[in-house]
Structure 1
């Protein structure tokens, strides 16, 4: 297999039709095998509030009770995933929408309730790369929403950055993999209010310093934790920044170093 490029798209880009369409057009033009993972937390939050369902987060991570899980299934696997697949088809990219339950591709276990009970949240145990290899050999482009399963009929909400990272790690055993985390910021910022404060390259020790200084908070922490896990597990390249970086590597973004 050629170099496999794995992209995760999330944040405000999902809610911005023009930004999302521009990303999907650029993504469709990438040659070779590729996989897309998308989030949709803001959309899920919006629908939860419409339905009068309380949104609860701890350190940037969503607590998923039974009602919230239903909302996530409807928004991630239904509304968002299907729209993304349809747009990719319009750009002549033969996309296939998936959850981790499809063909048993991603098996998870429900997260332990100690020290914090996150509800129906899944921690990934295993990724079946062989099924995805068959798909990509047939020129299909897998498009995952962040839902996995426990092989016993229970669907689980799973962090999209984690899913992207674990897919990249699993494939790194058999091919060269690159991971791109795309969202509305230009990368890791030392000042969240200043887009010009991008850290061009970030190693683990520097990341720990940013944490101590309180410059990396909430949702950015699990994002970067997953980036560093990937780069420490044979993934050849990990970058984080705006979607435009996939077309123009000279644009500001953060490259993750060991």
Structure 2
């Protein structure tokens, strides 16, 4: 990230941009920085000005307490200002929830594309999300960052053996350093369910995408987003999982953003 811009509350947001044309801002999900979505920037920058940024509380961006989802929408507003005042948004995983919230806020968004925003699709899943929120906030309040990361990894479905292996890996320290931002993504996701009233208020084109090889509930969640938005569309990508291949996703996004 070679540039910085100040958000409305004075928080420094690190970003970089590449290419020329209509602006597209890429929004990362939980436990990630702009580097996670950066591989999409190269193919998209052939037709667009692509902005990759570190969300507040991670990477090279700053952070200012207290956190509120509205501050992250203001971060996007600042980035929009840096690229001409309007842009399209792509959000992956919980970053998709932030992109949708930004679109509903009245920010000058042209299009929104989201990939596998993990809204809960059953009462049991909603209860699990509520328990996760409670335990996550307790762990962070008590400074147990490692426990917070473990809670998140379990929520994603990783096995105990894989989680234990992650704890012993060199990357664990970096994961712990990013743990406070887990509460930010949890807040962006709301109660965890599909926010149908919010989605119904979005009047711009929305493309909700899922991987054909992902769990059925993720495809159901992606479809529910498209159905709740007045101008929504749903698409699956053959052979793809939650870790979607940039070379498969980029042409789909480019076609959508060029409309």
TM over 0.5: no
* Structure with higher RCO (Cα < 8 A, 6+ apart): 1
TM-score (norm 2): 0.26
User: Which is helix-richer, 1 or 2?
Assistant: 2
TM-score (norm 1): 0.26
User: Which is strand-richer, 1 or 2?
Assistant: 1
